[in-house]
Chains A and B, each alone.
Chain A
């Protein structure tokens, strides 16, 4: 059995991601308000973005921006001095996707509100049940 330290403390970034994933999922499942569900969806996506960014980190490395200066430009870049920039770039795309999804979801929520007059899921179900006898 590994020690508590290596199981939890050393892997704290994964635990943070797990907690956020579960919070997002909980919000999507249990909350009745549609906007809260949408926020839960956003938290879920943000957790995955956090996961990707955290796996690019390196001990003792700095942010992946090459320093320019009078005597720096002629040196070769040492990859081990910079944290992995690829996950960051991938997550830029994922953030764009997340924002677009949020936009579509909110547009649909607006449409629902103008149609049913409420954003609570149970009230909407009631109104649907009443209007469709079949």
Chain B
């Protein structure tokens, strides 16, 4: 059993999704517990795997016992071991919060919701585990298709935003598939390390360069790098609230991980960073992404849409940090993947709680919400401080590494964009805090209708349901823990994820 941990991580949610679909016809009350069991098993297996990697290095698991390059292997090193733990933890925390809200929001579609949830988690965990390029495409599509369906479960503008996401996301995945086709054409292999072994003997080659650009372009669409981000704001704003708190933290980060994996393991650092014609434009795209994401976020009047544009800017951080090419930049990018997943979960879950209680997330409706939902707003404060980059929350440390990397590489435009974005985040979140804490409460809900005059005293606490509050507070605490242990994480895990020769 111990040896099969990589397979367990991905097989348990998959089988649980099947069981959930079957159980849905008979016993609806067990769906949540079954999903939680699957999530807990997945998370503990990921944690176990990370500990194993920390003590004995890269783990290679052969599916079915077939040896590479003919068989598919799961190859887990420090990079994906760390992100595996975070992704399974984020998925589990969000799942823990779905108990009361999902019943109200989805009604008779509860079974499909949990099944899609588990399948989405399966797809993401599979992307993180696999060491085979074509398997990566299949798993990217599993995660994406279930993401499309989850987003489409919403009401209002959700289906049209979901369809737009389908169209753009499919182009992205197809471009990636075409790139892998080019690689297969010249190397004859699909295994990542095998391709990396064969490539040096056929370089320099236009086909390989084109394959690289195609794979990257496909992944850029999937991770919503500006200007290919247009599907993201609508898809995340209009999707059901607990779906956006699942999809938003995870999708873009795992696609960014896929970019790391393709660049470092398949095409290798030397080839990827050799050509300035590839490296600099991507860095400039990231800089523009950060600036435009922050500016457009300023113009938003809805909470979830503002947060979605902040995500677009955050993608710019990670892509830019990675393509700086030096050790600090890459450490910052990898650490930011971890931190951003938890930060985004934090704010989106808080937004989900707000939308559940108020049915509205426009800023005009959020006045004085602190008195109604103090705990949720406190968590939102911690999340906001993390986005701004205030120590000891985790956002500060990854931003620090990114800044150091930008200065070391001499890319002062990137440094300026980071600082600009932090200042804009200050404006965005402090405006939110001001509306929430200092404005008088605008909208009354059914409980306290009779006390129209002294609204400050008659506001009854209508906090989010308890089983959403627990994961919320745990996420906020996790932000602080990740911040305090950032040094540990970098020295014990992240620094081994980056190839040794990078200075």
Instruction: Tell me the bound Cα distance from A94 to B301 in angstroms.
Output: 41
> B residues 170-219 with Cβ under 8 Å of A?
170-171, 173-174, 177-178, 181, 184-185, 190
Q: Which residues of B contact A124 (CB under 8 A)?
A: 160
In whole Å, how far is B211's beta carbon from the nearest beta carbon of chain A? 12
> Which B residue's beta carbon lies closest to that of A28?
B167
Instruction: Tell me the bound Cα distance from A116 to B174 in angstroms.
Output: 30
Instruction: Tell me the bound Cα distance from A41 to B174 in angstroms.
Output: 10
Contact A105 B163, beta carbon cutoff 8 Å = yes
Contact A48 B174, beta carbon cutoff 8 Å = yes
Contact A97 B141, beta carbon cutoff 8 Å = yes
In whole Å, how far is A85's beta carbon from the nearest beta carbon of chain B? 13
| Interface residue SS majority, chain A | helix
Q: Which residues of B contact A41 (CB under 8 A)?
A: 166-167, 170-171
Q: Which residues of B contact A128 (CB under 8 A)?
A: 157, 160
Instruction: Tell me the bound Cα distance from A28 to B221 in angstroms.
Output: 15
Q: Is B152 an interface residue (CB 8 A)?
A: yes
Contact B141 A108, beta carbon cutoff 8 Å = no
Q: Which residues of B contact A38 (CB under 8 A)?
A: 167
Contact A90 B170, beta carbon cutoff 8 Å = no
> A residues 29-82 with Cβ under 8 Å of B?
34, 37-38, 41, 44-45, 48, 51-52, 55
> Which B residue's beta carbon lies closest to that of A46?
B174
Per-position binary interface string of chain A over residues 110-134, scored 1 when its CB falls under 8 Å from any chain B CB and 0 otherwise:
0110011000000010001000001
Instruction: Tell me the bound Cα distance from A8 to B488 in angstroms.
Output: 58
Contact of A44 among B134, B145, B162, B174 (CB under 8 A): B174
Taking A93-B138, A104-B148, A104-B149 as contacts, is the C-beta distance between A55 and B171 under 8 angstroms?
no
Contact B174 A108, beta carbon cutoff 8 Å = no
Q: Is B362 an interface residue (CB 8 A)?
A: yes
In whole Å, how far is B21's beta carbon from the nearest beta carbon of chain A? 15
Instruction: Tell me the bound Cα distance from A62 to B160 in angstroms.
Output: 46
The size of the chain B interface, using a CB distance under 8 A, is 27
Q: Which residues of A contact B178 (CB under 8 A)?
A: 48, 51
Contact of B181 among A28, A52, A111, A115 (CB under 8 A): A52
> B residues 87-133 with Cβ under 8 Å of A?
none
Q: Is B392 an interface residue (CB 8 A)?
A: no
Instruction: Tell me the bound Cα distance from A87 to B184 in angstroms.
Output: 9
Instruction: Tell me the bound Cα distance from A98 to B407 in angstroms.
Output: 45
> Which B residue's beta carbon lies closest to that of A105?
B166
Q: Which residues of A contact B184 (CB under 8 A)?
A: 52, 55, 87
Instruction: Tell me the bound Cα distance from A59 to B134 in angstroms.
Output: 26
Taking A101-B170, A108-B148 as contacts, is the C-beta distance between A55 and B163 under 8 angstroms?
no
Instruction: Tell me the bound Cα distance from A52 to B174 in angstroms.
Output: 12
Q: Which residues of B contact A97 (CB under 8 A)?
A: 138, 141, 145, 173
Per-position binary interface string of chain A over residues 87-104, scored 1 when its CB falls under 8 Å from any chain B CB and 0 otherwise:
100100110010011001
Taking A44-B170, A45-B170, A124-B160 as contacts, is the C-beta distance between A104 and B134 under 8 angstroms?
no
Q: Is A107 an interface residue (CB 8 A)?
A: yes
> B residues 281-333 with Cβ under 8 Å of A?
301
Q: Which residues of A contact B152 (CB under 8 A)?
A: 104, 107-108, 111
Instruction: Tell me the bound Cα distance from A25 to B138 in angstroms.
Output: 22
Q: Is B159 an interface residue (CB 8 A)?
A: yes
Q: Which residues of A contact B157 (CB under 8 A)?
A: 128
Q: Is A109 an interface residue (CB 8 A)?
A: yes
> B residues 139-165 with Cβ under 8 Å of A?
141, 145, 148-149, 152, 157, 159-160, 162-163
Q: Which residues of B contact A37 (CB under 8 A)?
A: 167
Instruction: Tell me the bound Cα distance from A101 to B357 in angstroms.
Output: 34
Contact of A101 among B134, B141, B162 (CB under 8 A): B141
> Which B residue's beta carbon lies closest to that of A128?
B157
Contact of B163 among A52, A87, A112 (CB under 8 A): A112
Contact A90 B134, beta carbon cutoff 8 Å = yes
Q: Which residues of A contact B181 (CB under 8 A)?
A: 48, 51-52, 55
Instruction: Tell me the bound Cα distance from A112 to B154 in angstroms.
Output: 11
Contact B171 A44, beta carbon cutoff 8 Å = yes
Q: Which residues of B contact A87 (CB under 8 A)?
A: 184
Contact A94 B149, beta carbon cutoff 8 Å = no
Q: Which residues of A contact B171 (CB under 8 A)?
A: 25, 28, 41, 44
Q: Which residues of A contact B177 (CB under 8 A)?
A: 48, 94
Q: Which residues of A contact B141 (CB under 8 A)?
A: 97, 100-101
Contact of B159 among A28, A51, A52, A108 (CB under 8 A): A108
Contact of B145 among A45, A51, A101, A116 (CB under 8 A): A101
Taking A44-B174, A51-B178, A51-B181 as contacts, is the C-beta distance between A104 and B166 under 8 angstroms?
yes
In whole Å, how far is A38's beta carbon from the nearest beta carbon of chain B? 8
Instruction: Tell me the bound Cα distance from A93 to B416 in angstroms.
Output: 45
Q: Which residues of B contact A55 (CB under 8 A)?
A: 181, 184-185
Instruction: Tell me the bound Cα distance from A55 to B211 in angstroms.
Output: 15
> Which B residue's beta carbon lies closest to that of A89?
B134
B contact residues vs A (CB 8 Å cutoff)? 134, 137-138, 141, 145, 148-149, 152, 157, 159-160, 162-163, 166-167, 170-171, 173-174, 177-178, 181, 184-185, 190, 301, 362
A38-B167, A51-B181, A112-B160 known, 5 other contacts, Cβ within 8 Å: A87-B184, A97-B141, A101-B170, A107-B152, A111-B152
Interface pairs (9), CB distance under 8 Å: A28-B171, A38-B167, A93-B134, A104-B166, A107-B149, A108-B152, A111-B159, A112-B163, A124-B160
7 tightest CB-CB pairs across the interface, nearest first? A111-B159, A108-B163, A97-B141, A112-B159, A108-B152, A105-B166, A108-B159
